[in-house]
Amino acid sequence: MSTDSGRGRRQFLTRKAVVAAGRRIVEADGVDGLTIRRVAADVGATPMALYRHVADKRQLLLAILEDVADGLPDPPGDGDPRERIFGMFLMLDTYLARHLWVVDVLRKGELFAPRAGALFPWALDRFGELGLDDRQAADAYATLWWFVLGHLSFLPATDPDLFASREELMKVSAARAGVDEERVLRAYRGLDHQAVFEHGLRALVASLAPS
Amino acid sequence: MSTDSGRGRRQFLTRKAVVAAGRRIVEADGVDGLTIRRVAADVGATPMALYRHVADKRQLLLAILEDVADGLPDPPGDGDPRERIFGMFLMLDTYLARHLWVVDVLRKGELFAPRAGALFPWALDRFGELGLDDRQAADAYATLWWFVLGHLSFLPATDPDLFASREELMKVSAARAGVDEERVLRAYRGLDHQAVFEHGLRALVASLAPS
DNA sequence: ACCTGAACACCGTTCAAGT
DNA sequence: ACCTGAACACCGTTCAAGT
Protein backbone atom coordinates (compact mmCIF):
# COMPACT_ATOMS: atom_id res chain seq x y z
CA MET A 1 0.00 0.00 0.00
CA SER A 2 2.55 2.61 1.12
CA THR A 3 4.11 3.88 -2.08
CA ASP A 4 7.53 5.45 -2.09
CA SER A 5 7.27 8.74 -0.27
CA GLY A 6 10.44 10.03 -1.85
CA ARG A 7 12.13 10.33 1.51
CA GLY A 8 14.61 7.77 2.71
CA ARG A 9 15.63 4.51 1.22
CA ARG A 10 13.39 2.35 -0.95
CA GLN A 11 12.10 -0.78 0.84
CA PHE A 12 12.88 -4.02 -0.92
CA LEU A 13 12.46 -6.51 1.91
CA THR A 14 9.05 -7.70 3.08
CA ARG A 15 7.97 -9.87 5.99
CA LYS A 16 6.37 -12.22 3.49
CA ALA A 17 9.65 -12.74 1.65
CA VAL A 18 11.48 -13.34 4.92
CA VAL A 19 8.95 -15.95 6.07
CA ALA A 20 8.94 -17.66 2.67
CA ALA A 21 12.73 -17.90 2.63
CA GLY A 22 12.73 -19.20 6.19
CA ARG A 23 10.18 -21.82 5.30
CA ARG A 24 12.20 -23.02 2.32
CA ILE A 25 15.24 -23.44 4.54
CA VAL A 26 13.49 -25.16 7.43
CA GLU A 27 11.67 -27.58 5.12
CA ALA A 28 14.96 -28.47 3.46
CA ASP A 29 17.31 -28.66 6.45
CA GLY A 30 15.19 -28.73 9.59
CA VAL A 31 15.09 -26.40 12.56
CA ASP A 32 18.84 -26.68 13.11
CA GLY A 33 19.44 -25.45 9.57
CA LEU A 34 17.42 -22.30 10.06
CA THR A 35 19.67 -19.37 10.90
CA ILE A 36 19.00 -15.68 10.67
CA ARG A 37 22.18 -15.25 8.66
CA ARG A 38 21.17 -17.85 6.11
CA VAL A 39 17.68 -16.42 5.64
CA ALA A 40 19.30 -13.02 5.13
CA ALA A 41 21.65 -14.39 2.48
CA ASP A 42 18.71 -16.04 0.70
CA VAL A 43 16.75 -12.81 0.46
CA GLY A 44 19.84 -10.82 -0.46
CA ALA A 45 20.06 -8.71 2.68
CA THR A 46 22.25 -8.43 5.74
CA PRO A 47 21.24 -10.34 8.87
CA MET A 48 20.18 -7.16 10.65
CA ALA A 49 17.71 -6.18 7.95
CA LEU A 50 15.45 -9.06 9.06
CA TYR A 51 14.92 -7.53 12.48
CA ARG A 52 12.77 -4.86 10.92
CA HIS A 53 10.25 -7.56 9.95
CA VAL A 54 10.49 -10.15 12.74
CA ALA A 55 11.19 -9.45 16.39
CA ASP A 56 13.61 -12.36 16.77
CA LYS A 57 14.25 -15.90 15.60
CA ARG A 58 11.48 -17.33 17.76
CA GLN A 59 8.90 -15.06 16.13
CA LEU A 60 10.18 -16.02 12.70
CA LEU A 61 9.67 -19.67 13.57
CA LEU A 62 6.13 -18.95 14.79
CA ALA A 63 5.35 -17.15 11.54
CA ILE A 64 6.63 -20.09 9.49
CA LEU A 65 4.58 -22.43 11.69
CA GLU A 66 1.43 -20.46 10.93
CA ASP A 67 2.25 -20.54 7.25
CA VAL A 68 2.46 -24.34 7.34
CA ALA A 69 -0.67 -24.66 9.48
CA ASP A 70 -2.58 -22.72 6.80
CA GLY A 71 -2.06 -25.71 4.53
CA LEU A 72 -3.80 -28.14 6.89
CA PRO A 73 -6.73 -29.83 5.14
CA ASP A 74 -10.16 -29.47 6.73
CA PRO A 75 -11.26 -32.35 8.94
CA PRO A 76 -13.64 -34.87 7.32
CA GLY A 77 -17.04 -33.25 6.73
CA ASP A 78 -19.52 -36.04 7.20
CA GLY A 79 -20.03 -39.61 8.26
CA ASP A 80 -19.96 -41.42 11.58
CA PRO A 81 -18.34 -39.27 14.32
CA ARG A 82 -15.93 -42.08 15.13
CA GLU A 83 -14.81 -42.22 11.51
CA ARG A 84 -14.47 -38.45 11.31
CA ILE A 85 -12.28 -38.40 14.42
CA PHE A 86 -10.15 -41.22 13.07
CA GLY A 87 -9.88 -39.43 9.74
CA MET A 88 -8.89 -36.14 11.36
CA PHE A 89 -6.00 -37.62 13.34
CA LEU A 90 -4.87 -39.65 10.35
CA MET A 91 -4.90 -36.47 8.25
CA LEU A 92 -2.91 -34.65 10.95
CA ASP A 93 -0.33 -37.44 11.07
CA THR A 94 0.01 -37.55 7.29
CA TYR A 95 0.33 -33.79 6.98
CA LEU A 96 2.87 -33.41 9.79
CA ALA A 97 4.90 -36.36 8.49
CA ARG A 98 5.59 -34.17 5.45
CA HIS A 99 6.68 -31.30 7.74
CA LEU A 100 8.51 -33.20 10.45
CA TRP A 101 10.48 -30.19 11.68
CA VAL A 102 7.17 -28.91 13.11
CA VAL A 103 7.31 -31.65 15.74
CA ASP A 104 10.60 -30.21 17.00
CA VAL A 105 8.90 -26.89 17.53
CA LEU A 106 5.75 -28.31 19.14
CA ARG A 107 7.88 -30.35 21.52
CA LYS A 108 9.35 -27.18 23.03
CA GLY A 109 5.86 -26.51 24.29
CA GLU A 110 5.66 -22.77 23.82
CA LEU A 111 4.48 -22.52 20.24
CA PHE A 112 1.64 -23.88 18.20
CA ALA A 113 -0.33 -22.37 15.36
CA PRO A 114 -3.84 -21.03 16.12
CA ARG A 115 -5.01 -22.63 12.88
CA ALA A 116 -4.09 -26.04 14.33
CA GLY A 117 -5.65 -25.18 17.68
CA ALA A 118 -9.04 -25.10 15.98
CA LEU A 119 -8.92 -28.88 15.69
CA PHE A 120 -9.39 -29.21 19.45
CA PRO A 121 -12.87 -27.62 19.66
CA TRP A 122 -13.83 -29.48 16.47
CA ALA A 123 -12.98 -32.76 18.21
CA LEU A 124 -14.86 -31.76 21.38
CA ASP A 125 -17.99 -31.53 19.25
CA ARG A 126 -17.45 -34.91 17.58
CA PHE A 127 -16.82 -36.64 20.91
CA GLY A 128 -19.89 -34.85 22.22
CA GLU A 129 -21.95 -36.48 19.48
CA LEU A 130 -20.74 -39.80 20.86
CA GLY A 131 -21.98 -38.96 24.34
CA LEU A 132 -18.73 -37.76 25.96
CA ASP A 133 -18.74 -34.60 28.04
CA ASP A 134 -16.05 -31.97 27.52
CA ARG A 135 -13.89 -33.42 30.28
CA GLN A 136 -13.89 -36.91 28.78
CA ALA A 137 -13.49 -35.48 25.29
CA ALA A 138 -10.37 -33.55 26.28
CA ASP A 139 -8.88 -36.73 27.73
CA ALA A 140 -9.68 -38.62 24.55
CA TYR A 141 -8.19 -35.86 22.42
CA ALA A 142 -4.96 -35.92 24.43
CA THR A 143 -4.70 -39.69 24.13
CA LEU A 144 -5.03 -39.65 20.34
CA TRP A 145 -2.73 -36.66 19.95
CA TRP A 146 -0.01 -38.34 22.01
CA PHE A 147 -0.20 -41.38 19.78
CA VAL A 148 0.19 -39.22 16.67
CA LEU A 149 3.01 -37.25 18.31
CA GLY A 150 4.80 -40.46 19.28
CA HIS A 151 4.50 -41.90 15.79
CA LEU A 152 5.86 -38.70 14.28
CA SER A 153 8.67 -38.59 16.84
CA PHE A 154 9.68 -42.08 15.77
CA LEU A 155 9.72 -41.32 12.04
CA PRO A 156 13.24 -39.83 11.89
CA ALA A 157 14.53 -43.21 13.12
CA THR A 158 13.12 -44.84 9.98
CA ASP A 159 15.51 -42.83 7.82
CA PRO A 160 17.47 -45.39 5.74
CA ASP A 161 20.68 -43.45 6.38
CA LEU A 162 20.36 -44.16 10.09
CA PHE A 163 19.35 -47.79 9.73
CA ALA A 164 22.88 -49.18 9.81
CA SER A 165 23.89 -47.36 12.98
CA ARG A 166 20.65 -48.39 14.72
CA GLU A 167 21.07 -52.04 13.80
CA GLU A 168 24.60 -51.92 15.13
CA LEU A 169 23.40 -50.65 18.50
CA MET A 170 20.65 -53.27 18.41
CA LYS A 171 23.18 -56.07 17.99
CA VAL A 172 25.08 -54.79 21.00
CA SER A 173 21.84 -54.77 22.97
CA ALA A 174 20.94 -58.31 21.95
CA ALA A 175 24.41 -59.59 22.78
CA ARG A 176 24.34 -58.03 26.23
CA ALA A 177 20.83 -59.29 26.93
CA GLY A 178 21.97 -62.76 25.85
CA VAL A 179 19.25 -63.19 23.22
CA ASP A 180 19.33 -64.32 19.59
CA GLU A 181 20.39 -61.25 17.65
CA GLU A 182 19.02 -62.47 14.33
CA ARG A 183 15.58 -62.96 15.86
CA VAL A 184 15.58 -59.42 17.26
CA LEU A 185 16.72 -57.88 13.98
CA ARG A 186 14.13 -59.84 11.97
CA ALA A 187 11.34 -58.63 14.25
CA TYR A 188 12.62 -55.05 14.09
CA ARG A 189 13.13 -54.97 10.33
CA GLY A 190 9.66 -56.24 9.48
CA LEU A 191 7.86 -53.26 11.00
CA ASP A 192 5.37 -51.60 8.64
CA HIS A 193 5.02 -48.45 10.68
CA GLN A 194 2.21 -46.88 8.69
CA ALA A 195 -0.05 -49.94 8.91
CA VAL A 196 0.76 -50.35 12.60
CA PHE A 197 0.00 -46.70 13.23
CA GLU A 198 -3.41 -46.85 11.58
CA HIS A 199 -4.24 -50.06 13.41
CA GLY A 200 -3.26 -48.56 16.76
CA LEU A 201 -5.14 -45.34 16.09
CA ARG A 202 -8.25 -47.33 15.25
CA ALA A 203 -7.96 -49.36 18.44
CA LEU A 204 -7.60 -46.18 20.52
CA VAL A 205 -10.62 -44.51 18.90
CA ALA A 206 -12.68 -47.62 19.55
CA SER A 207 -11.64 -47.79 23.20
CA LEU A 208 -12.26 -44.08 23.81
CA ALA A 209 -15.65 -43.84 22.17
CA PRO A 210 -17.39 -47.13 22.88
CA SER A 211 -20.55 -47.92 20.96
CA MET B 1 45.94 -48.79 35.82
CA SER B 2 48.72 -46.93 34.01
CA THR B 3 50.67 -45.20 36.75
CA ASP B 4 52.72 -42.13 36.03
CA SER B 5 55.61 -43.19 33.83
CA GLY B 6 57.61 -40.13 34.72
CA ARG B 7 57.62 -38.96 31.14
CA GLY B 8 55.36 -36.18 29.93
CA ARG B 9 52.57 -34.37 31.69
CA ARG B 10 50.53 -35.84 34.51
CA GLN B 11 46.96 -36.75 33.47
CA PHE B 12 44.28 -35.14 35.57
CA LEU B 13 41.27 -35.46 33.25
CA THR B 14 39.34 -38.71 32.88
CA ARG B 15 36.54 -39.76 30.57
CA LYS B 16 34.44 -40.53 33.61
CA ALA B 17 34.80 -36.98 34.93
CA VAL B 18 33.92 -35.54 31.52
CA VAL B 19 30.78 -37.67 31.21
CA ALA B 20 29.73 -36.89 34.78
CA ALA B 21 30.10 -33.16 34.21
CA GLY B 22 28.24 -33.42 30.92
CA ARG B 23 25.42 -35.27 32.61
CA ARG B 24 25.11 -32.67 35.36
CA ILE B 25 24.79 -29.94 32.73
CA VAL B 26 22.34 -31.71 30.45
CA GLU B 27 20.09 -32.72 33.36
CA ALA B 28 20.05 -29.12 34.55
CA ASP B 29 19.75 -27.22 31.27
CA GLY B 30 18.78 -29.70 28.58
CA VAL B 31 20.50 -30.66 25.36
CA ASP B 32 20.77 -27.03 24.23
CA GLY B 33 22.66 -26.17 27.40
CA LEU B 34 25.30 -28.81 26.80
CA THR B 35 28.37 -27.29 25.18
CA ILE B 36 31.90 -28.59 25.00
CA ARG B 37 33.18 -25.31 26.33
CA ARG B 38 30.94 -25.43 29.37
CA VAL B 39 31.84 -29.03 30.22
CA ALA B 40 35.49 -28.03 29.94
CA ALA B 41 35.02 -25.12 32.31
CA ASP B 42 33.23 -27.40 34.79
CA VAL B 43 36.09 -29.89 34.89
CA GLY B 44 38.70 -27.13 34.95
CA ALA B 45 40.23 -27.77 31.55
CA THR B 46 40.34 -26.12 28.15
CA PRO B 47 37.76 -27.19 25.55
CA MET B 48 40.37 -29.07 23.52
CA ALA B 49 41.38 -31.27 26.44
CA LEU B 50 38.02 -33.09 26.17
CA TYR B 51 38.82 -34.35 22.71
CA ARG B 52 41.34 -36.75 24.18
CA HIS B 53 38.48 -38.54 25.97
CA VAL B 54 35.50 -38.20 23.60
CA ALA B 55 35.67 -38.15 19.81
CA ASP B 56 33.17 -35.32 19.46
CA LYS B 57 30.05 -33.85 21.02
CA ARG B 58 27.83 -36.58 19.59
CA GLN B 59 29.89 -39.30 21.29
CA LEU B 60 29.77 -37.38 24.56
CA LEU B 61 25.98 -37.32 24.33
CA LEU B 62 25.89 -41.07 23.62
CA ALA B 63 28.10 -41.72 26.66
CA ILE B 64 25.79 -39.63 28.88
CA LEU B 65 22.80 -41.49 27.40
CA GLU B 66 24.33 -44.82 28.39
CA ASP B 67 25.02 -43.48 31.85
CA VAL B 68 21.34 -42.59 32.28
CA ALA B 69 20.16 -45.88 30.77
CA ASP B 70 22.20 -47.73 33.41
CA GLY B 71 19.78 -46.34 35.97
CA LEU B 72 16.72 -47.90 34.33
CA PRO B 73 14.90 -50.19 36.75
CA ASP B 74 14.43 -53.81 35.72
CA PRO B 75 11.08 -54.66 34.16
CA PRO B 76 8.51 -56.28 36.49
CA GLY B 77 9.65 -59.79 37.41
CA ASP B 78 6.46 -61.76 37.78
CA GLY B 79 2.72 -61.75 37.34
CA ASP B 80 0.42 -61.82 34.34
CA PRO B 81 2.31 -61.03 31.09
CA ARG B 82 -0.17 -58.29 30.29
CA GLU B 83 0.48 -56.65 33.66
CA ARG B 84 4.22 -57.00 33.25
CA ILE B 85 4.11 -55.31 29.85
CA PHE B 86 1.94 -52.52 31.21
CA GLY B 87 4.29 -52.13 34.16
CA MET B 88 7.37 -52.00 31.95
CA PHE B 89 6.07 -49.18 29.74
CA LEU B 90 4.77 -47.29 32.76
CA MET B 91 8.21 -47.62 34.35
CA LEU B 92 9.83 -46.41 31.14
CA ASP B 93 7.52 -43.39 30.98
CA THR B 94 8.12 -42.51 34.62
CA TYR B 95 11.88 -42.86 34.34
CA LEU B 96 12.18 -40.85 31.12
CA ALA B 97 9.86 -38.14 32.47
CA ARG B 98 12.62 -37.46 34.99
CA HIS B 99 15.19 -37.24 32.18
CA LEU B 100 13.20 -35.49 29.49
CA TRP B 101 16.24 -34.31 27.53
CA VAL B 102 16.68 -37.97 26.51
CA VAL B 103 13.61 -37.69 24.31
CA ASP B 104 15.32 -34.93 22.32
CA VAL B 105 18.19 -37.28 21.62
CA LEU B 106 16.02 -40.30 20.77
CA ARG B 107 14.00 -38.18 18.37
CA LYS B 108 17.06 -37.55 16.22
CA GLY B 109 16.93 -41.27 15.47
CA GLU B 110 20.59 -42.10 15.45
CA LEU B 111 21.26 -42.80 19.08
CA PHE B 112 19.84 -45.01 21.76
CA ALA B 113 21.46 -46.81 24.63
CA PRO B 114 22.08 -50.55 24.30
CA ARG B 115 20.88 -50.94 27.88
CA ALA B 116 17.47 -49.62 26.82
CA GLY B 117 17.49 -51.76 23.67
CA ALA B 118 17.30 -54.84 25.88
CA LEU B 119 13.70 -53.97 26.70
CA PHE B 120 12.67 -54.90 23.16
CA PRO B 121 13.62 -58.62 23.32
CA TRP B 122 12.20 -58.76 26.83
CA ALA B 123 8.85 -57.56 25.48
CA LEU B 124 8.99 -60.01 22.55
CA ASP B 125 9.05 -62.82 25.12
CA ARG B 126 6.15 -61.43 27.14
CA PHE B 127 4.01 -60.96 24.03
CA GLY B 128 5.04 -64.48 23.02
CA GLU B 129 3.57 -65.78 26.26
CA LEU B 130 0.30 -64.18 25.19
CA GLY B 131 0.34 -66.04 21.87
CA LEU B 132 1.76 -63.32 19.58
CA ASP B 133 4.48 -64.22 17.10
CA ASP B 134 7.56 -61.99 16.78
CA ARG B 135 6.01 -60.02 13.93
CA GLN B 136 2.88 -59.17 15.90
CA ALA B 137 4.92 -58.55 19.04
CA ALA B 138 7.14 -56.02 17.27
CA ASP B 139 4.04 -54.18 16.06
CA ALA B 140 2.61 -54.16 19.56
CA TYR B 141 5.89 -52.92 21.00
CA ALA B 142 6.02 -50.05 18.50
CA THR B 143 2.45 -49.06 19.29
CA LEU B 144 3.06 -48.86 23.03
CA TRP B 145 6.41 -47.13 22.62
CA TRP B 146 4.86 -44.44 20.37
CA PHE B 147 2.26 -43.75 23.01
CA VAL B 148 4.94 -43.33 25.67
CA LEU B 149 7.03 -41.19 23.33
CA GLY B 150 4.04 -38.99 22.54
CA HIS B 151 3.17 -38.52 26.19
CA LEU B 152 6.76 -37.59 26.98
CA SER B 153 6.89 -35.22 24.01
CA PHE B 154 3.85 -33.45 25.36
CA LEU B 155 5.22 -33.02 28.89
CA PRO B 156 7.24 -29.84 28.21
CA ALA B 157 3.97 -28.16 27.28
CA THR B 158 2.67 -28.77 30.82
CA ASP B 159 5.39 -26.51 32.24
CA PRO B 160 3.57 -23.84 34.29
CA ASP B 161 5.87 -21.17 32.84
CA LEU B 162 4.48 -21.87 29.38
CA PHE B 163 0.86 -22.11 30.42
CA ALA B 164 0.07 -18.44 29.93
CA SER B 165 1.43 -18.26 26.40
CA ARG B 166 -0.36 -21.46 25.40
CA GLU B 167 -3.68 -20.24 26.75
CA GLU B 168 -3.22 -17.01 24.84
CA LEU B 169 -2.76 -18.90 21.58
CA MET B 170 -5.72 -21.08 22.50
CA LYS B 171 -7.97 -18.04 22.87
CA VAL B 172 -6.92 -16.85 19.43
CA SER B 173 -7.75 -20.29 18.05
CA ALA B 174 -11.16 -20.37 19.70
CA ALA B 175 -11.98 -16.88 18.50
CA ARG B 176 -11.06 -17.71 14.91
CA ALA B 177 -12.95 -20.99 15.00
CA GLY B 178 -15.95 -19.10 16.35
CA VAL B 179 -16.39 -21.27 19.44
CA ASP B 180 -16.88 -20.48 23.12
CA GLU B 181 -13.41 -19.73 24.40
CA GLU B 182 -14.27 -20.38 28.06
CA ARG B 183 -15.52 -23.85 27.21
CA VAL B 184 -12.33 -24.69 25.35
CA LEU B 185 -10.09 -23.42 28.14
CA ARG B 186 -12.07 -25.28 30.81
CA ALA B 187 -11.73 -28.54 28.90
CA TYR B 188 -8.03 -27.94 28.32
CA ARG B 189 -7.23 -26.94 31.91
CA GLY B 190 -8.88 -29.96 33.48
CA LEU B 191 -6.52 -32.47 31.90
CA ASP B 192 -4.90 -34.88 34.38
CA HIS B 193 -2.25 -36.09 32.00
CA GLN B 194 -0.84 -38.84 34.21
CA ALA B 195 -4.21 -40.52 34.78
CA VAL B 196 -5.11 -40.15 31.12
CA PHE B 197 -1.78 -41.65 30.12
CA GLU B 198 -2.21 -44.72 32.32
CA HIS B 199 -5.76 -45.18 31.12
CA GLY B 200 -4.71 -44.98 27.47
CA LEU B 201 -1.78 -47.32 28.00
CA ARG B 202 -4.07 -49.87 29.62
CA ALA B 203 -6.53 -49.64 26.74
CA LEU B 204 -3.73 -50.18 24.22
CA VAL B 205 -2.31 -53.18 26.05
CA ALA B 206 -5.78 -54.71 26.20
CA SER B 207 -6.40 -54.18 22.50
CA LEU B 208 -2.99 -55.54 21.48
CA ALA B 209 -3.03 -58.66 23.61
CA PRO B 210 -6.63 -59.84 23.67
CA SER B 211 -7.56 -62.48 26.19
C1' DA C 1 12.60 5.14 6.59
C1' DC C 2 15.16 1.51 5.74
C1' DC C 3 19.35 -0.86 5.50
C1' DT C 4 24.39 -1.69 6.75
C1' DG C 5 29.11 -2.24 9.36
C1' DA C 6 31.31 -3.26 13.14
C1' DA C 7 31.20 -5.39 17.32
C1' DC C 8 30.02 -8.61 21.32
C1' DA C 9 29.51 -12.86 23.37
C1' DC C 10 28.92 -17.14 22.06
C1' DC C 11 29.49 -22.12 19.30
C1' DG C 12 32.42 -26.97 17.62
C1' DT C 13 36.61 -28.27 15.96
C1' DT C 14 41.58 -28.38 13.90
C1' DC C 15 46.40 -27.89 14.16
C1' DA C 16 50.69 -26.61 15.81
C1' DA C 17 53.03 -25.68 19.95
C1' DG C 18 54.36 -26.18 24.89
C1' DT C 19 55.94 -29.11 28.98
C1' DA D 1 51.76 -38.22 26.90
C1' DC D 2 48.81 -34.94 27.85
C1' DC D 3 47.24 -30.36 27.72
C1' DT D 4 47.06 -25.49 25.77
C1' DG D 5 46.83 -21.15 22.52
C1' DA D 6 45.54 -19.36 18.61
C1' DA D 7 42.74 -19.67 14.87
C1' DC D 8 38.73 -20.78 11.64
C1' DA D 9 34.15 -20.73 10.38
C1' DC D 10 30.16 -20.32 12.39
C1' DC D 11 25.88 -18.42 15.70
C1' DG D 12 21.93 -14.42 17.52
C1' DT D 13 21.65 -9.87 18.56
C1' DT D 14 22.71 -4.72 19.70
C1' DC D 15 23.91 -0.15 18.54
C1' DA D 16 25.58 3.51 15.97
C1' DA D 17 26.17 5.00 11.40
C1' DG D 18 25.07 5.69 6.45
C1' DT D 19 21.81 7.16 2.59
* Chain B contact present for A32, CB below 8 A: no
Among A188-197, B27-36, B173-182, B188-197, which range has the highest average pLDDT?
A: B27-36
Interface test with B, best of A173, A182, A197, A204 (most B CBs within 10 A): A173
CB contact under 8 A, B109 and A143: no
Mean pLDDT across the stretch A76-95? Answer: 97
Q: Is A178 left (phi over 0), alpha (psi -120 to 50) or beta?
A: left
Nearest to A114 among B137, B169, B196 (CB): B169
CB contact under 8 A, B154 and A149: yes
CA distance A150 to chain B (A): 4
- Does position B2 have pLDDT exceeding 60, yes or no? no
Q: What whole-number distance in Å separates Cα of residue B143 and Cα of residue B127?
A: 13
Locate the chain A residue with the closest alpha carbon to B137: A187
pLDDT tens per residue across span A135-157: 999 999 999 999 999 999 999 99
Comparing CA positions, the residue from B136, B110, B146, B204 lying closest to residue A93 is: B146
CB A172, CB B122: distance < 8 Å: no
Q: At B166, is the pLDDT very low, low, confident or very high (cuts 50, 70, 90)?
A: confident
- Does position B1 have pLDDT exceeding 70, yes or no? no
* Chain B contact present for A98, CB below 8 A: no
CB A76, CB A103: distance < 8 Å: no
CB contact under 8 A, A179 and B104: no
